[in-house]
């Protein structure tokens, strides 16, 4: 596996490209080889794989995170379709606290984003029938499940759809604004 790792403007958030071997049939890619990620400085022990499917373009999921001791780092990729992936820095001691990074990820390119512990994560689908897969380094814990309102104007996230037109869950619509969050990550 050959990794191309690019920092994304907030420390520790990384865009990852893996090599694809293409021919007339399509392509083959090794999407995760632990040794290669460790060599690239990503030493997390991923313990759970998750997959989401969104029917409609404009489905907005997030912004989600878990609190310690079940805080999660994520390795996110798109299996089908395209998304605008967004992470918000919740590490209060960080110089980028409250800031976000957004990046388009698509199945055709096969890129991945590494989201370290201390960030809220979410995405908006740019195409119908979009599937997203992500690895996490801590199992899901309902008691530690938290979130942040993705359309909070204070975050200034430029979503590709108006908030009123976004397809969102009731749970995500009820998430608190950024300034209502207690300190979770130092």
Fold for the domain defined by 46-180: Jelly Rolls (2.60.120)
CA separation, residue 4 to residues 98, 117, 174 (Å): 27, 21, 38
pLDDT digits (tens, 9 = 90+) for 22-33: 999 999 988 999
DSSP state of 148: -
Per the CB < 8 A criterion, the answer to whether 185 and 71 are in contact is yes
Q: What is the pLDDT of residue 1?
A: 57
Active site residues per annotation: 64, 134
pTM: 0.94
Q: Where are the domains of the chain?
A: 46-180
End-to-end CA distance of the chain: 35
Q: What is the pLDDT of residues 55-109, one digit of tens each?
A: 999 999 999 999 999 999 999 999 999 999 999 999 999 999 999 999 999 999 9
Closest residue by Cα to residue 60 from 112, 147, 125? 125
pLDDT above 70: residue 2: no
| Sequence-distant (≥ 6) Cβ neighbours of residue 33 within 8 angstroms | 1
* pLDDT tens for each residue of 137-176: 999 999 999 999 999 999 999 999 999 999 999 999 999 9
């Amino acid at each position: 596996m050959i990794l191309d790792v690019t920092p994304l403007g907030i420390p520790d958030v990384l865009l990852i490209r893996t090599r694809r071997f293409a021919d007339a049939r399509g392509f083959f890619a090794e999407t995760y080889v632990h040794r290669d990620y460790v060599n690239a400085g990503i030493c997390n022990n991923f313990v759970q794989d998750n997959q989401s499917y969104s029917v409609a373009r404009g489905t907005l999921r997030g912004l989600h995170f878990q609190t310690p001791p079940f805080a999660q780092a994520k390795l996110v990729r798109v299996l089908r379709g395209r998304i605008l992936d967004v992470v918000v820095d919740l590490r209060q001691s960080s110089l980028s606290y409250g800031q976000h990074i957004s990046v388009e990820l698509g199945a055709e390119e096969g890129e991945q984003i590494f989201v370290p512990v201390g960030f809220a994560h979410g995405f908006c689908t740019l195409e119908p029938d979009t599937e997203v897969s992500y690895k996490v380094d801590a199992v899901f814990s309902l008691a530690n499940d938290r979130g942040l309102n993705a359309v909070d104007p204070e975050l200034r996230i430029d979503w590709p759809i108006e908030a009123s037109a976004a397809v969102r869950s009731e749970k995500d619509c009820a998430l608190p604004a950024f300034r209502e969050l207690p300190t979770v990550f130092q």
